[in-house]
A and B are shown apart, each in its own frame.
Chain A
């Protein structure tokens, strides 16, 4: 098939790209007079996923992370913008034309209890992608199913079991095996461990990392747990109300957040790594996330931002490169063009004064 390029992807090649991607859901108008209102779940997101990397997507609940993930693998139709895979626009491909692309583009679901049909056996679930894409005869498929179970750390004798005979962690392994079945290039993992026990989370995360090495996978890793994302990601996208507010490589982002929202997110996470660190002043997020049906004017974060000024209410900040490799959508970014903390950054100043 021509869609399957023979050339291997060099590390750093853009595999998956979203440009100005939006997904709006119509909602029933609250007021009797209100016209059609829309919920802007994803609002003008642009991002690139490069071969071999793990792109972490973080944000609070309801910020559009999952919707973005589903748009990227074309599980939902997008409202506007484009998704392209290996430079080819797949936004408007028909289901038939999309089928070859789907082999390379897989999704691992958040809830392992909902993503496996309770009335099908594990072997049948894992064989389905191979049957659809024509993997081989019955015996070849059966052999590969056993291999897949082995790869994800399950017993090959589990093929005849039903999903309800497995624990959450084991089910998620089945979900991962299903995604791996056709040897994909990119796996979008939608909060793959958030439904699991903490003790199981680490095992499943390590499985993701092992598989990445073994099969040269590229991940888009969606999560709300910053610790999880830091553990697996090479680059991070921070989302707020359907928009990307910051992208950066992992360590600089965690050390010197460039967007006030990133800073607040990081500070809201309990810090267990350095117990000896002096207690620092926390910038707590106050209030709830604004309603994505009725987003604030200007900067979406201004209603909760400690640095907000008059300009933020009028002018929507564009995502721009404020320092090499760092894109921040803020009028007053917290990092200087050299990547150092900006003088007005509260957390860093307070850290300096107390420590």
Chain B
């Protein structure tokens, strides 16, 4: 499972962000260092120099030093270490991706299974609700919700979520993707419901709860588990897009999306600021998608038999 290894490597690297910041980079990833200096090849150089060439964009930070010390990947427009920020940003990107995927899949399992199993009015209401959410273009809905909630925050009963909290993008992304998981699950439960082994449970007087727990959920879980890495990848991409538009993760927090945004003005002189987080997103998303495929074949009992034969 190379994909799993790659993903875990990315996670591990991001978890080690504070260690990297203190032990290797020796800079603060979250404070500007506009007038600071650093040592490259034994010479003391300023982190930012006024630009004389290029497009006259003001200051140009130092580029990648490829020296596992200060400014491995160079500095961004405010003189901050890109590598350290990349790792810290990855934490948020992964956290949002994984948590929103877990929440989306969890809610989708409950709602999709309930709609498919109980049918009737509940199914009609839930299905129309899914349709309504599904009818919006994903990004349009995400952007609208983010813009509205960013300024005011979100208050649900006694719980108040500040506008700059990470929970806001997590919840928004989770809610948007619920129908994408719930609808296929509902369909699956609908076919399961007619299967004879469910009828056998009914014929033995099993309660709904028992049938759901023993017969429906075990048959639905593989689908959910396949969805989980796929949704994580998708949610990470959505998060990056929102953060890139500066309506996702709010400063001083960073995520891969915000770092790409930071590097936008430096694209011609210091492309690494944008490229590095872009590459991380791509690698992680590919790894997660392959992981989803791997989970699918690992959980299919017939596929396992075929593999053994």
Contacts and interface: CB of A to CB of B under 8 A. Distances in A.
B56 interface: no
Nearest to A128: B204
Contacts of B197: 114-117
Nearest to A103: B205
Contacts of A95: 205, 207
Nearest to A133: B205
Given A117-B218, A164-B301, A75 B199 contact: yes
Interface in B266-305: 301-302, 305
Given A117-B197, A117-B215, A73 B203 contact: yes
A99 interface: yes
B204 A117 contact: no
A132 B203 contact: no
A102 B203 contact: yes
A139 interface: no
A117 B219 contact: yes
B223 to A, nearest CB: 12
B197 to A, nearest CB: 4
Contact of A75 (B203, B214, B218): B203
* Chain B: number of interface residues, binned into ranges: 20 to 34
Given A99-B205, A102-B203, A111 B196 contact: yes
Nearest to B302: A164
Contacts of A116: 197, 200
Nearest to B222: A119
Contacts of A111: 196
A114 B207 CA distance: 20
Given A114-B197, A117-B218, A120-B214, A107 B203 contact: yes
B201 interface: yes
Interface string A93-112: 00100110011001101110
Interface in B66-104: none
Contact of B218 (A73, A114, A119, A175): A119
Interface in A242-262: none
Nearest to A98: B205
Interface in A63-117: 70, 73, 75, 95, 98-99, 102-103, 106-107, 109-111, 114-117
A227 interface: no
Contact of B204 (A70, A110, A132, A162): A132
A132 B196 contact: no
A128 B302 CA distance: 25
B196 A120 contact: no
B45 interface: no
A129 interface: yes
Contacts of A132: 204-206, 210
Nearest to B215: A117
A2 to B, nearest CB: 17
A102 B301 contact: no
A204 B230 CA distance: 46
6 contacts: A75-B202, A99-B205, A109-B200, A114-B197, A120-B218, A132-B205
Interface of A: 70, 73, 75, 95, 98-99, 102-103, 106-107, 109-111, 114-120, 124, 128-129, 132-133, 162, 164, 175, 178
Interface of B: 195-197, 199-207, 210, 214-215, 218-219, 301-302, 305
Given A102-B203, A110-B196, A114-B195, 7 more contacts: A70-B199, A75-B202, A107-B200, A114-B196, A118-B301, A120-B214, A132-B210
